[in-house]
A and B are shown apart, each in its own frame.
Chain A
C-alpha cells in the first residue's frame, strides 16, 4: 500500500508538473508574439559632432558642390521668411498622432531609414527567376517589370550597385547641403523664432538648405530607378520624410525647396553615371555566354573543368557574367586587383582542400551551421551588401553620427563593396572555377548553390572590403569587423558551397579593394 501511495504521489506531482509546463508554454506562446522588427528602432539622438567644415569635403562624383546653383535665402526678419516660420510654428504646435508616428519612424537621421528601406527592398526583390514553362528561366525585363519574374532580380551584384549609388548620391547631396548651410548660415526654424518645440534634440546646424530634402530627393530618384515597381511606395515615403521636417521644426518651405534643388542636381549626375556604367551589358544572352565560357575553357584546359550550373533544369546563363566590366568607383581596373589562379583540380593543394570540405560538410557542428545560416544572405534576405549595411548602421548609431558623417560611412563602404563585387565577378568569370559539388558530387551543401563560379567567394570579397572601410571609420572596432568578415567567408565553407581558398583569397582581395576607398576617404578633406 505504501508503494502504491508513493506511486500515486509521484503521479500527482507529474500531473502538476505537466499542468505547470502547459501553463508556462501558453504564457510563452502569447508573450513572444510581440511585433517583430522590420528595422532599427526610432532614430532620434543628439549628434556627437556637427562637422561644420563638412561642406569642404570632396564629393564622390560631383566635380564641386559649388557647381550647384543655390541662391541666397530670404534673410531672417524678411516678410517671406517670417511667413514660412509662421507655417512651421502652426504645424509644429498641432501634431497629430499620425504625424508623431511618422516623425518617430524617420527620426532626425533620415539616411539611416533610407538605407533600411533599400535593404528591405532587396529582401523583397532577391528572388531568382523560376524555370518557366520551357525550363529556360526567362529573366526579368526592365521594359516589363511587372511580369514574373518581377524586375529587378536583386541579387548581390545588383544590390551592391544599388547601395553604392544610393549612399554615394546621398553623401554628395549632404556635402552640398553642408556647404550652403555654412555659406549662408541661416538658422534652423527653432532658433529663428521662439515657440517652436524641436521634435528632435536641438543643435546649431543651419537650416538652409535642408539636408533631409536633398538626400530624400536623391533616394527617391535612385530607388525608383532601381525598383521601378515600387515608385508609389517610394514616393509616399519621400513625401512623409520631407513633410515631417516642417512638423519637427527643422525646416521651412524654402529650406526644403533648396534641398530639392541639390537633390535634383546630384540625382541627375548619378543617374547619368548609372546609365553608362556598363551594367546594362552585364546580363548576357545564352550564345554570348557560351562563347565567354568556351574562352575560359580554352584558357584553363585540363587544370579544371569550367563551372556549370547544377540546377535542374539547368539555368542557361549565370548571374551577370559581365559584371566585371562594370565601371568601378575606386580601383584602377580589375586586372590590378585580380588574384592569382586557384589550385588545379588534382593538385596536392586542391586535394587537401577538397578533403577538408568533404569532412566538414558531413560533420558540421551546430556552431558552424549557425554561422552558415547567419551569413547565408540568400534569396529573401537583405543580401551580403545589405548585411554589412546593417552592421554599419549599428556602429553609426552607437557613435551618434550626424547625417553627413553617416552617409560618408555608407558611401565609402558601399562603393568599396561594389568595387569588390566588380573585381570578384571578373575573377569568377576569368577563372570559371567549378563549385565544390561539381568537382566532387559527394560534397553536399546546407542550402542552394548560387548561380556563378566558385573562385573567389563573393561573400568573402564583399565582406573584406566592407570590414576594411568600417575599420578605418571606427578603428576601435576594427577587430570586430575583421572577425565578422572572416566568419562571413568561413560560412561559405561550412555551408559546402566554397573551398577554403575561395574564401580566404576573397577576404584578402576584399581588404585590398577596401584600401582604395579608404585612401580616397583619407584624402577627402575630412
Chain B
C-alpha cells in the first residue's frame, strides 16, 4: 500500500551520483512522515471515509561505506507505523524491508568545466519481519525484490549538477496468509505474483565544494510491468498495477565545523498515479561521517 519508501532516505543513496571515498563511512538516522487521504482506484482519484487520512511514520537507520572510491555499499532498515484517522481498522507497524546495495563508479570523465560520471547500482530488499502484506494498512508488499540501476550525472565546476537514472525492479512473490483471492482471475493460493517494475529519475541541483551543501529537486516516474486495477471499492493488493509520478526535493548540510555531523531534509508529493495513494511526505535526519581506515595505509599494502 505504501510507496516512496526506503529510497532517498539516506544522505547518499544507491540512486544518486555521490560516491564515498575509500575507507569513508557515513551512518545515519532518518525519520519520514507521509500521509494520504485520496488514492487512485484505477485512474479515478477517490476518497474512502473509512480510512480518512492514513498517516505513515517511518524511522530508518542506514549506512554507506566506501570500500574503494569506485565501490560503495549501503545498508538500511526502516521501521514503519501506519495509522488511519477514521474507521475501525487498526493501522499496522513493524520492521520493513532491509535494503542491501552496492554502487560502482564505472566512468569518471573530468574536463575544465566539470565532471561526467556513469554509475551502476544493484541491491536487494528483503522483508525483515513477518508483517502481513494483505493488511489494509500494510507496511510493505511482503516480497523480496532486487533493483538494478544505471546513473549518469554531470557536475559543473560552478556547482550545478544534473542527474538521470533508470532502474529495473525485479520482484518476487508476496506471501499472504489467506488461501484465495481474485485479481482478474481467481487464485486458490497464498502466493501473489507482484509485478516487476521500472522507474526513471531525473534531478537537478547545486552542490558546494565537498558536498557540504547540496540542494536538489527530482522527479520520478514509476511503472509496474503488469498487475491489475483495483476493482470498485475493493482493497489495494500487492499485485496491483501501480504507477506514479512524484516530485521531490532534498537538502543536505554538512558543515566543516561539525566534525562529521550533517543534517538532511526531504519532501515529495505524488503528482499522478494509478492504483496508488496520492502521498505527501516530509522527512529529515542526521548523519555522522568518519574514516574507518586511511587511504594512505592501503598504499602500504
Binding site for B on A (CB under 8 A): 1, 4-5, 7-8, 11, 14-15, 18-19, 21-22, 25-26, 28-30, 32-33, 36-40, 116, 119-121, 123-124, 126-131, 148-149, 310-313, 361, 366, 369-370, 373-374, 376-377, 379-382, 386-387, 390, 437, 443-449, 496
Contacts and interface: CB of A to CB of B under 8 A. Distances in A.
30 contacts: A4-B297, A15-B102, A18-B100, A22-B123, A29-B170, A32-B191, A36-B173, A36-B187, A36-B189, A36-B191, A38-B185, A119-B188, A123-B186, A127-B233, A127-B234, A129-B233, A130-B232, A131-B49, A312-B49, A312-B87, A370-B132, A376-B178, A379-B234, A380-B180, A381-B181, A382-B180, A387-B179, A444-B90, A448-B50, A496-B88
B25 to A, nearest CB: 11
A444 B88 contact: yes
B172 A29 contact: yes
B301 interface: yes
A389 B170 CA distance: 36
B100 A1 contact: no
B73 A1 contact: no
Contacts of B178: 373-374, 376-377, 381
A28 B298 contact: no
State the main secondary structure of chain B at its contact with A: loop
Interface string B37-77: 00000000000011000000000000001010001010000
Interface in B164-205: 170-173, 176-182, 185-189, 191-193
Given A14-B73, A33-B193, A379-B235, A25 B180 contact: no
Given A18-B73, A374-B179, A449 B88 contact: yes
Interface in B203-256: 231-235, 237
Contacts of B111: none
Nearest to B185: A38
B36 interface: no
Nearest to B192: A36
Contact of A437 (B88, B172, B298, B300): B88
B107 interface: no
A479 to B, nearest CB: 21
A313 B189 CA distance: 33
A22 B103 CA distance: 13
Contact of A369 (B71, B132, B145, B180): B132
A25 B49 contact: no
Nearest to B170: A29
B172 A33 contact: yes
Nearest to B133: A373
Given A21-B100, A25-B146, A128-B233, 7 more contacts: A14-B73, A32-B172, A33-B172, A38-B186, A116-B188, A123-B186, A381-B179
Given A123-B182, A447-B136, A382 B172 contact: no
B301 A8 contact: yes
Nearest to A128: B233
Given A29-B172, A312-B49, A446-B135, A37 B177 contact: no
Contacts of B87: 311-312, 448
B232 A29 contact: no
A302 B296 CA distance: 84
A15 B67 contact: yes
Interface in B88-140: 88-90, 100, 102, 122-124, 126, 130, 132, 134-136
Given A21-B124, A380-B234, A386 B173 contact: no
A390 B189 CA distance: 11
Given A21-B124, A25-B146, A127-B232, A311 B49 contact: yes
Given A28-B172, A120-B186, A370-B177, A149 B49 contact: no
Contact of B177 (A116, A128, A313, A374): A374
B100 A130 contact: no
Contacts of A15: 67, 71, 73, 102
B90 A29 contact: no
B146 to A, nearest CB: 6
A8 B293 CA distance: 9
A22 B181 contact: no
